[in-house]
Structure 1
Amino acid sequence: MTTLYEHGTLAALMAGNFDGTITVSDLLKHGSMGIGTFTGLDGEVVILNNEVYQAVSSGQVNHITDMDATMPFASVHFPAEQQDITLRNVNFAKLNNDFVKEHKLANVFAFLQLSGEFEHVKIRIAPKQEKPYSTLLDVAQHQPEFTAENISGTIIGYYAPEIFGTITAAGWHLHFISDDRQFAGHLLAFDASELTGSFEIFDNLEQHLPIHNKEFRESTVDMATLRDGIAKSEGNAE
């Protein structure tokens, strides 16, 4: 059995629930690879082989060793049934279309890790918020973006089916980190001639909810605008 562990929901972030509800220590009990964000929507998190990295809105990348740091939203897993892949002349559009179709991912959750030399990478990084929190959509409209050319690094993240597009981002939700650990963030666009890595399909989704968090229990979500708001917040709106 292959399991994807999700803590919190993207819908809760959309409602402005940015307080951390799981520690890094507890999260790593459920996975050694993953992505997420810290309390206050403080940056973009990459977890590689139990090593936790945080890209903050200044562009700096921090190696996190504080196991008591908390996160409101994260996706992690332990690699179990990886399939090796090599992709050539690849970009985000090809991942969303050709790769999804070729591997029949439309109705499953999947993990992707790709490494190599990137001709172009565009990322954004959520700036830390203070209470009273705004909504994720409001924050997304003021997120700094960064670009890099001819950079070696790794993409990691998850694919979620459209029907699950309120607990997490539908389609690919990917983060990038450079080999020198100096450049990282939420991936918006990229181009690469050849990337190697692996992907994995999950047959089990473990959704963990922060039931002891007051804001989560009392928040309301506008379902009429939720999916469109998520797409805009993730940088996936047309």
Structure 2
Amino acid sequence: MSKIYQHSTLAALMAKQMQGTTTIGDLLTHGDTGIGTLAGVDGEVIILDGDVYQADEFGKVNHITDMQTTLPFATVHFASDVAQNIDVAATDFAGLADLQDVYHFTNNFAALRLHGQFEHVLVRAAPKSEVPYPSLLEVSKKQPTFTADQVSGTIVGYFSPSLYQGTVAAGWHLHFLSDDHTFGGHLLEVQTQQVTGTLESFSDFQLHLPIEDQSFRDHNADVDDLDAGIKAAEGGH
């Protein structure tokens, strides 16, 4: 099984650590597929086949080609031929819950990539924040949402076990990108008859911490309210 690589933690974002601490160029050495956000929690990043896209707060999708562009948080992996081909016949997220039982990954990380024609898609995109950064929970309260109907595109993202809540957002964290690269974001709702793609389970999870960044080293995470805060900030999926 291949490896999943994550830069920084969701708890750090909750604790206002939104400064860019890795580059697109470095991130792509660890994976060609994944999700994340840009410095300042500027929109939603979607990485497919080594190409990096940002769905911004204005509803626009930008192709990011500057390898020095920075991110505070991201998760990636290299797409592998050991991934299982799957069909998902579902009108909403209910079908994804079934995948955990069928493929037995409740206690490990998994990557999902699905492609198809979607009747309806609802996404959100984080608005860019400036120093002094607010908490991720504050940002989540003013995130714009966007919808598209009859759109073809790709869902990509990860399942994380509840044991790692805080390091990640436990459960599914999925982003969407349309085939024409004009619509995307953090996936909230989807309606479709059937989509196809791949599911891959991981035996190895590599967490990279930006210890060269003083603000990261010095921050304090409020672990008592972390679980409730993450659930509120993530908005479900």
TM-score w.r.t. length of structure 1: 0.97
Q: Distance in 2 between matches of 1:127 and 1:74?
A: 17
Asked if 1:27 corresponds to 2:27, the answer is: yes
Asked if 1:168 corresponds to 2:168, the answer is: yes
May I ask how many residue pairs the two structures share in their alignment?
A: 236
Deviates more, 1:80-89 or 1:42-51: 80-89
Asked if 1:11 corresponds to 2:23, the answer is: no
**Matched residue, 2:88:** 87
Q: Distance in 1 between matches of 2:23 and 2:136?
A: 21
Give secondary structure in 2 for the equivalent of 1:159.
Answer: strand
**CA-atom RMSD in angstroms:** 1.0
**Matched residue, 1:66:** 66
Q: Distance in 2 between matches of 1:234 and 1:116?
A: 24
Q: Distance in 2 between matches of 1:229 and 1:236?
A: 12
Report 1:48-59 matches (<5 A): 48-59=48-59
1:13-61 deviation digits (Å, cap 9, x = unpaired)? 0001000111100000000000000001011000000000001100010
**Matched residue, 2:152:** 152
CA contact (8 A) 2:31 2:77 kept: yes
1:135-190 deviation digits (Å, cap 9, x = unpaired)? 00000000001111111100000000001111111111000000110000000111
Q: Distance in 2 between matches of 1:231 and 1:100?
A: 20
| One-letter code aligned to 1:112 | L
**Matched residue, 2:229:** 229
Alpha-carbon offset, residue 224 of structure 1 = 1.1
Q: Distance in 2 between matches of 1:21 and 1:204?
A: 23
**Matched residue, 1:42:** 42
Asked if 1:78 corresponds to 2:78, the answer is: yes
Asked if 1:134 corresponds to 2:121, the answer is: no
Alpha-carbon offset, residue 79 of structure 1 = 1.6
**Matched residue, 2:111:** 111
Q: Distance in 2 between matches of 1:29 and 1:6?
A: 12
Q: Distance in 1 between matches of 2:233 and 2:219?
A: 19
**Matched residue, 1:184:** 184
1:182-233 deviation digits (Å, cap 9, x = unpaired)? 0000001111101010010000001000001111111111111101110111
5+ residue gaps, structure 2: none
Identity of aligned residues (%): 50
User: Structure 1 residues 103 and 90, CA, compared in 2 at 3 Å: closer, same or farther?
Assistant: farther
1:72-97 deviation digits (Å, cap 9, x = unpaired)? 000000122211111112421321x2
**Matched residue, 2:200:** 200
**Matched residue, 1:219:** 219
**Matched residue, 1:102:** 102
Q: Distance in 1 between matches of 2:39 and 2:28?
A: 16
Give secondary structure in 2 for the equivalent of 1:193.
Answer: coil
Q: Distance in 2 between matches of 1:148 and 1:231?
A: 25
Alpha-carbon offset, residue 103 of structure 1 = 1.4
Alpha-carbon offset, residue 5 of structure 1 = 0.3
